Amino acid sequence: MPLDASPLDVAALAWFLLVWLGYGRVSDRVTGRAVSLNHHMVTLREVWMRRMLQRDNRIMDSQLIGHTVHSVTFFASTTMLVLAGLVGVFGGVDRVYEVVGALSFTVQTSKQFFEAKMLLVIGIFVYGFFKFTWSLRQFNYLCALIGSAPLNPVPPEQVDTTARTTAMMLTEAMGSSNAGMRSYYFAFAAIAWFIQPWLFIVATTWMLAVLVTRQVRSRSFMAIIDHLRQHAAPGARPPEEG
């Protein structure tokens, strides 16, 4: 951390890293009672894979997977373009530093500290790019699992194992994609650091509130809950009452 970083800057950065990295771990990795949209999606994906094993024609399933792969590919390509733009800005950092420093509402910092803030934004998008590309690799593994799934009628002893492992791979792929998507959200919060450290804290907290609300209080959350309660397949756990 540069010498002119204030205690508030240090606290803001620590809060940002805690929220950014901690939220992803809680949202995607915590096991036990399902409490969020992502957790209930794990059950829904297993229901989907069970339905897939009952179908003779699985073209629809492959098309749904292909649509998601195209979306992840789009964001991976877009992230590369964003990184190219940021590297270009970093090459002209002297001019950018003068322009931002001339704004009346920004905190004046050293050029070294300004460059450190830019590196943070670049690092966030690098992280997002690696997550998106890893998600694409995981979708390739998922295609292999779907392609090698036994044909209908599937022996009952193979249904649980096949549906669970295939749904697990789909969840891993979507988890990586979600992590890449969140890098965009938190990159916007990091940009606030160029203005004021307290605004950086507010922006980070606001992003956390937006993500949590979507996970536990959104209409999408309620739609998934209602669907699972009505259509949960045998062997899949229906959502518990909140």
Q: Rounded to whole angstroms, how far apart are CA atoms 86 and 202?
A: 24
pLDDT recorded at residue 241: 41
What rounded mean pLDDT belongs to the chain?
86
In this structure, are residues 207 and 15 in contact, taking their beta carbons and an 8 Å threshold?
A: no
pLDDT recorded at residue 234: 52
In this structure, are residues 196 and 106 in contact, taking their beta carbons and an 8 Å threshold?
A: yes
pLDDT at 3 over 60: no
Q: Rounded to whole angstroms, how far apart are CA atoms 99 and 93?
A: 10
Among 106-110, 128-132, 214-218, which range has the highest average pLDDT?
A: 128-132
237-240 — which CB contacts under 8 Å span 24+ positions?
A: 237/34, 237/43, 238/43, 239/34, 239/40, 239/43, 240/33, 240/34
- Distance between start and end Cα atoms, the chain: 43
* Type of residue numbered 34: A
What is the mean pLDDT of the segment spanning 158-174?
92
Q: Rounded to whole angstroms, how far apart are CA atoms 37 and 226?
A: 12
In this structure, are residues 129 and 74 in contact, taking their beta carbons and an 8 Å threshold?
A: no
Per-residue pLDDT tens for 199-217? 999 999 999 999 999 888 8
DSSP 8-state assignment for residue 192: G
Choose the weakest-confidence range: 83-97, 113-127, 186-200. Answer: 83-97
What is the mean pLDDT of the segment spanning 151-158?
83
Tokens of 140: 């390739």
CB atoms within 10 A of CB 4: 12
What percent of the chain clears pLDDT 90, i.e. is strictly above it? 47
Ordered by start, the domain boundaries in the chain are: 7-25+36-231
pLDDT recorded at residue 233: 53
pLDDT recorded at residue 29: 61
CB atoms within 10 A of CB 28: 19
Confidence of residue 242 (pLDDT cuts 50, 70, 90): very low
pLDDT recorded at residue 187: 94
Q: Which has the closest alpha carbon to 88: 122, 132, 120, 123?
A: 122
* Angle 70-146-156 from CA coordinates, rounded to 5°: 145
Residue with tokens 């957790």: 39
What is the mean pLDDT of the segment spanning 11-32?
82
